[in-house]
Amino acid sequence: MYFGIVLPCLFALRKKLKTIKRKNNLTYCKTLIETYINSVETRFSQFYDLNTPEAESAAIAALSHSRFKNKWLSCVEPTQRNKVLNIFKINISKEINKNPEVAATRTTKNTKKEISFFNFNTDSDSENLEMHSNGSCDVPLTKAELLMLHFLKVIFVKYNTVLPSSAPVERLFSYATMTNHPKSHKLTDEMFEKRVVLKTNCNYKKV
């Protein structure tokens, strides 16, 4: 499971919920659908708001994912869409400036199998990323195109690599449990988070 699946999944979920809401055959469950939509938008507001650092990282991860690419951008406002594309292009440019002489080979494969859940119905006017669209592996690529695929791979590895183990997260939960005792029931969320971080890092000596 890669980080690049987060934004496409969230935008596809919200779109499908709104599609269900627009149907006129809902009588008793319409309020339930509205509650679902509000809950999802509230819980993942840092991702739906594409101006946050979390959303920018998730967008780069999704754009560099060979399965989603820029298909999910049809669910985004045009102004936000252009901003996300510019951020992605800036990251590609940075990698190119770091390694201007790198050569690459094409080893990716495309598949026509798609889960219906990720059907974004891309608009005809949706901007296609240069060197980042669907194509057949049988089509020969130029040296510049092969080079671009290498940098896409670098971006993918940087933003989609996951932790090999859940142990650090589980250890953090243990510290949170030790901090959340009855005598500290009036702690604010911010103070609780600070105390957990301090407890986690108390064994590290200051250099």
Residue 114 lies in a domain: no
Do 201 and 101 fall into the same domain?
A: no
Residue 176 lies in a domain: yes
Encode pLDDT of 59-73 as tens digits.
Answer: 888 888 888 888 888
Do 172 and 188 fall into the same domain?
A: yes
Question: Between residues 203 and 103, which one has the greater pLDDT?
Answer: 203
Judge residue 115's burial from the number of C-beta atoms within 10 Å of its C-beta, 0-12 exposed, 13-18 middle, 19 or more buried: exposed
Do 32 and 85 fall into the same domain?
A: yes
Distance CA 207, CA 204 (A): 9
Name the maximum alpha-carbon separation found in the chain.
Answer: 68
Do 65 and 26 fall into the same domain?
A: yes
Do 87 and 76 fall into the same domain?
A: yes
Distance CA 95, CA 56 (A): 17
Residue 130 lies in a domain: no
Do 14 and 64 fall into the same domain?
A: yes
Cα separation values, 153 from 65, 114, 162, Å? 9, 21, 15
Would you place residue 88 in the very low, low, confident or very high pLDDT band (cuts 50, 70, 90)? confident
Q: What is the pLDDT of residue 151?
A: 78
Q: What is the pLDDT of residue 137?
A: 40
Residue 131 lies in a domain: no
> In total, how many domains does the chain have?
2
Encode pLDDT of 32-47 as tens digits.
Answer: 888 999 999 999 999 9
Q: Containing domain of residue 66, as a range?
A: 1-105+142-163
Do 175 and 97 fall into the same domain?
A: no
Distance CA 207, CA 190 (A): 26
Residue 125 lies in a domain: no
Do 197 and 147 fall into the same domain?
A: no
Residue 48 lies in a domain: yes
Residue 52 lies in a domain: yes
